[in-house]
A and B are shown apart, each in its own frame.
Chain A
Amino acid sequence: NAGVTQTPKFQVLKTGQSMTLQCAQDMNHEYMSWYRQDPGMGLRLIHYSVGAGITDQGEVPNGYNVSRSTTEDFPLRLLSAAPSQTSVYFCASSPLGRGQSNQPQHFGDGTRLSIL
């Protein structure tokens, strides 16, 4: 049981390049989300999904795109990388069924992204 798996672990991009951060979970969780973590700041929600085909914006969505074609996968796309997007990105998942809405989120180990 791997939990939440993120790839790659590290990535360096040039300004203007695009890339996709991968996230997969094997717990059959309906809810999946992407956060970014910057020094001195709390984790901030980028996008989230409550099930396949359903996504919505969090508090810092600009410059990022998501899709959810399966329950297991929730990739995050950077459309045109900017230095301000240098950060550590975490994917998380949790169940969302009746009586489970307050279950804690399970996090992956992150992708460390540098934009030059």
Chain B
Amino acid sequence: EDQVTQSPEALRLQEGESSSLNCSYTVSGLRGLFWYRQDPGKGPEFLFTLYSAGEEKEKERLKATLTKKESFLHITAPKPEDSATYLCAVRVFSGGYNKLIFGAGTRLAVHP
């Protein structure tokens, strides 16, 4: 069964304290891995797409990496405005269509 697991569920950091969020997946036929940011009361906002093992993408303080079984979202010197829930999703072909399978997310709180 296709599955996406994110850890930790919640993470509290001090401003400037770097860390990583994990997204592990067991799927047949990965067609892309997506990272989204979700602020309270808002819809998910796209951050990155990764397609193949070894690929990396960067945006400001965020860097996403991909292996054959997991992806990491590295946050370097985070600021309070990085506080949000970070969602990981994998795209697979199943039941005749491409579908996104989401993890439950990691709630990140960055304190000054």
Q: Residues on A close to B: CB < 8 A?
A: 4, 35, 40-45, 48, 50, 56, 58-59, 90, 92, 101-102, 104-110
Contacts and interface: CB of A to CB of B under 8 A. Distances in A.
A56 B31 CA distance: 20
Interface of B: 4, 31-32, 34, 36, 41-46, 49, 51, 87, 89, 91, 96-105
Contact of B87 (A42, A50, A58): A42
A107 B45 contact: yes
Contacts of B41: 109-110
- B interface SS class: strand
A90 B43 contact: yes
Contacts of B105: 42
Given A107-B44, A109-B43, A42 B4 contact: yes
Contacts of A43: 44, 87, 89, 100, 102
B44 A90 contact: yes
Nearest to A96: B98
Contacts of B87: 42-43
Contacts of A41: 104
Contacts of B104: 40-42
Given A42-B4, A42-B87, A105 B42 contact: no
Nearest to A104: B46
